[in-house]
Amino acid sequence: MLKRWLSLSMIVVMTTLLWAASASVAAAKEVTIEYWQYYYESKVKLMTDLIKQFEQQNPGIRVEQKTFPYEQFNQKVAISVPAGTGPDVVNLYYGWVPKYVDGGYLQPLPADAFPASTIQKEFLPMVEAAKLNGQYWGLPTAVRALALFWNKDLFKEAGLDPNAPPQTWEQLQEYAIKLTKRDKNDQLVQEGYAWNADGQDNHVFIQVLLRQWGVTPFSPDNKQVLWNSKPGGYEAFQWWTDLAVKHRVGDPTFMGDYRTAFITGKAAMMIDGSFALGTLRDKAKNINWGVTTLPVRAANPSVRANVGSFWMNALTVNAKDEKRDAAIKFLRFLTSPEVMKVWMEKVGELPARSALTEDPALQKDPIYGPFLAGLKYAHATFFVDETSERQAIIDATNEVRLQGTNPKVALDRLVASEQKIRDEYFSNR
């Protein structure tokens, strides 16, 4: 009896040990990676859902999403990654690539998992902006182009055709003047155009206005800033700043920011990206708005231009061994056609894969169509330091707006500032 009892006990012990060992192996195989992006409500909500889907498809991989305010994001990355903490996969603006590469935060995409020939064949040409020193450093889920949004009710109220947005910059200026309202104390109460330099308008100046005024913004090697190389550069800068200074159709501080002014019905027009569509659907439900392609210059109508940009997902140097394998799987998932379709539906940004943008039904869509049309002639700016370069434009426009500096003088100073940034970067290469 005792012998039988001992045998049974041994079986129970062995079974328990085997179960424990099995559980231990399973636990050891589980990999957790961190994903970082700045906080943008619609993107964060969707990413939470996508992570659940990815984890179901990839048992043993967990993804922890962490978000930070936009203003703190780069600083968090700069502190964490060199210390060996922080993200394995990071979402960054393509214009930050030189800075992130110089900082040693990223590792290039492995060529076996993301062949260059496949990227060039399947993704939109602007994705080349994710390439530096002959290597790709990340890939986007979606890309962006700009378009003109207008408030149909405010157009009707001002005696304008609510279904006929401006087609030229000259019309935009004329309509914006009509649509601007001030109170008896000359305080702005309604913007005809949500003028800004810190939003999308600085990109419009570089890649749209300059080109339509006959100026190629940069030398082919991106080393020279050519904004004041021709009279058209000065004319474009003056036309842009005149909207705020001479015609007073908008103010960058009105309602906090340009998009809030439009969403609250206090701005009749704004230029924004397709990424704003999700926000407008959620927060501008009472606004009767439309969207159309960016205007052209009446004197030069055949020259169309737009701004291409994107946020991309990249592998940081923290992703090593099994975490690197998991991060690569996650990056493949985020750049799959299936995720791109959901991303467009939920966030509003356009697919980064060429085949998806060529869908005839999508091109005819009254909302997405203008953005897709813009992609065909969009230019992505090569930034050395996007934050500093953008700030230089804001400073130059503030000189004109707040200090009365002659736009020609301000543009010359601006070009000198921008050139200094590029000279410092390229002098070491």
For position 11, what pLDDT does the model report? 52
Question: Distance from CA of residue 145 to its chain's centroid?
Answer: 9
What are 36's two structure tokens?
């970082």
In 3D, which of 316, 391, 287 has the Cα closest to residue 103?
A: 316
What are 395's two structure tokens?
């400073």
- Listed in order, strand segments (DSSP E) in 232-384 are 269-273, 289-292, 306-307, 311-315, 350-351, 378-379
Centre a 10 Å sphere on the Cβ of residue 115 and count the other Cβ atoms it contains: 13
Cα-based angle 419, 422, 424 (whole degrees, multiple of 5): 110
The segments of the chain whose pLDDT lies below 70 read 1-28
The sign of the dihedral angle between the CA atoms of 423, 427, 428, 429 is: positive
Burial of 82 (0-12, 13-18, 19+ CB in 10 A): middle
Helix (H, G, I), strand (E, B) or coil at 380: coil
What are 56's two structure tokens?
């179901």
- HSE of 328 in the Cβ direction (CA atoms, 13 Å)? 15
- Describe the strand order of the beta sheet including 61-68 as a list of residue ranges: 61-68, 31-38, 89-93, 311-315, 139-140
**333: Cβ–Cβ under 8 A, 6 or more apart, which residues?**
50, 54, 57, 58, 339
d(CA 68, CA 192): 33
Place of tokens 């009767």: 288
d(CA 43, CA 342): 11
Give me the amino acid identity at 30.
E
The sign of the dihedral angle between the CA atoms of 168, 245, 209, 289 is: negative
Q: Are 99 and 367 in contact (CB under 8 A)?
A: no
Left if phi > 0, otherwise alpha if psi is -120 to 50, otherwise beta: which for 67?
Answer: beta
For position 59, what pLDDT does the model report? 96
* Length in residues, the chain: 429
What are 360's two structure tokens?
């005839």
For position 249, what pLDDT does the model report? 98
For position 23, what pLDDT does the model report? 47
- Listed in order, strand segments (DSSP E) in 207-338 are 269-273, 289-292, 306-307, 311-315
Cα-based angle 176, 182, 187 (whole degrees, multiple of 5): 125
pTM of structure: 0.83
